[in-house]
Amino acid sequence: MKKIIAITIVSLFYINSYSQKKWYSSAAIEFSVPSKIEYHYNFNNSSTVINLDSKTALGAQYSINYLVFNKLSVGALTGIQNQFGADFFAFRIGGNLKYYFVDDDNVYAYLRYARNFTVDKDKFKNGDNLRGGIGFPFLKTDDFNLNLNVFYDINYFNLEDAEPLIFGNERSKNIFFRSFGISVGIKF
Please report, for the domain that includes residue 41, its CATH number: 2.40.160
At residue 96's C-alpha, the angle toward residues 130 and 52, to 5°, is 20
Would residue 160 count as lying in a domain? Answer: yes
Q: What is the pLDDT of residues 44-90, one digit of tens each?
A: 888 888 888 888 999 999 999 999 999 999 999 999 999 987 788 99
Percent of the chain surpassing pLDDT 70: 91
**Cβ atoms of 93 and 114 closer than 8 Å:** yes
Would residue 104 count as lying in a domain? Answer: yes
At residue 28, what are phi and psi to the nearest 5 degrees?
A: -150, 150
pTM, 2 dp: 0.84
Would residue 7 count as lying in a domain? Answer: no
Q: What is the pLDDT of residues 155-167, one digit of tens each?
A: 999 999 888 888 8
CB-CB neighbours of 31 under 10 Å: 13
Would residue 2 count as lying in a domain? Answer: no
At residue 53, what are phi and psi to the nearest 5 degrees?
A: -65, 150
Would residue 16 count as lying in a domain? Answer: no
At residue 107, what are phi and psi to the nearest 5 degrees?
A: -60, 140
Would residue 180 count as lying in a domain? Answer: yes
**Tell me, what's the pLDDT at 130?**
98
Number of domains forming the structure of the chain: 1
**Tell me, what's the pLDDT at 147?**
98
**Cβ atoms of 94 and 84 closer than 8 Å:** no
Would residue 57 count as lying in a domain? Answer: yes
Q: Which domain holds residue 111?
A: 23-187
Would residue 111 count as lying in a domain? Answer: yes
Of 157, 188, 162, the residue nearest 175 (C-alpha): 157
pLDDT grade, residue 16 (50/70/90)? very low
Q: What is the pLDDT of residues 84-110, one digit of tens each?
A: 877 889 999 999 999 999 998 899 999
